[in-house]
Amino acid sequence: MPADLNPIDKAKFVAAKRATEFVETGMKVGLGTGSTAAWMVRCLGERIREEGLRVVGVPTSSRTAELARQVGVPITTLDEAKWLDLTIDGADEFDPNLALIKGGGAALLQEKIVATASDQMIVIADAAKEVAQLGAFPLPVEVIPFGWQTTKALIEETLVSLDVLSRECSLRMNGAKPLMTDESNYIVDLHLKRIGNPRQLALVLNQIPGVVENGLFIDICDIVVIGHGDGRVTVRDINAGSESDDFVEFKPSDNIFADME
C-alpha cells in the first residue's frame, strides 16, 4: 500500500507522477524501462482512465510493453509512430550537464533509439542518481554475442588511453548464462569509477567492432525531474537554464498499486 513505500520508492513515484504532467492529449510518447519508468507508465495509465487522456506509447522493452498493456496505455512501434513528441525514462546516473548513464535494466539500445527519435527527453530519477561526475555506476555496453570476448578485450585495450579511473570489465550474467537483451545481444559492464570525458568515451566505444551501443546518453536529455522522499520534486530544464521545486500530492490510487500486491 502507499503508506508502506520507502523514501526511495516514494521519490521515484513523485518524480514519475510529475513528469506525466508534461504529456498532453494527442502526443506520441516514448515509454522508458526500469523501476522509475514503471511508475510513470502506471501514472500515465491512471491519467488515461481518469482524465480521458488520449496518447499512444512506444515502449523501450518487452517488459515496458507488457506493463503498458496491463494498465491501459495504448502502444505502437517506433516504425509506425516514426517520430515522438516526448520520451520519459529513468537514469542510473546524471551529471550537472544532464549527461546520463543508462542500461542498468539492459534496455539501453532501444532506449537510446527511442529517446533520439523524440522532440524532447525527460529523465525521472530519485535524488541519489545525481552525481558530480559520471562513472560510479558501471557503464553498460551492448555487444553482439559473436566474438564477445574479443570485443571485451578491445574495450579494455581502448580504455588504457582514456580518462577513466578503472578499466575492469565484466559480462553481465543471468544466473549461469549471459544476460540476453531484447535484441539478443550481451551486456559488458565497465566498472570505470570515474569518467573524465563522457563524450569522448561514448564516441570511441562505438568505433569498436562488436559494440552495438553504449549507455552514455550525451546531449539527449532536456529535462530532469528529481524526486525526494518527502514528496518534493525538482524540475531542471537545461535548455531554459531553469530550476523549480514543488510538491506532488501523494495519494496514488489503488489501481496503480494493484499489480504490486
Q: Which of 21, 24, 50, 111 is catalytic?
A: 111
Residue 258 labeled ligand binder = no
Residue 104 labeled ligand binder = yes
Residue 245 labeled ligand binder = no
Residue 26 labeled ligand binder = no
- Is 183 catalytic? The answer is no
Report DSSP letters for 9-55, one per residue: HHHHHHHHHHHGGG--TT-EEEE--SHHHHHHHHHHHHHHHHH----
Say if CB 203 and CB 191 are below 8 A apart.
no
Residue 92 labeled ligand binder = yes
Residue 231 labeled ligand binder = no
Residue 229 labeled ligand binder = no
Report DSSP letters for 138-161, one per residue: PEEEEE-STTHHHHHHHHHHHHTT
- 3-class secondary structure, 173: strand
Q: How far apart are CA 167 and CA 108, in angstroms?
A: 21
Q: What DSSP designation does 200 have?
A: H
Say if CB 106 and CB 187 are below 8 A apart.
yes
Q: Which residues are annotated as a binding site?
A: 33-36, 89-92, 102-105, 129
Which positions are catalytic? 111
- Numbered residues of the known binding site for substrate: 33-36, 89-92, 102-105, 129
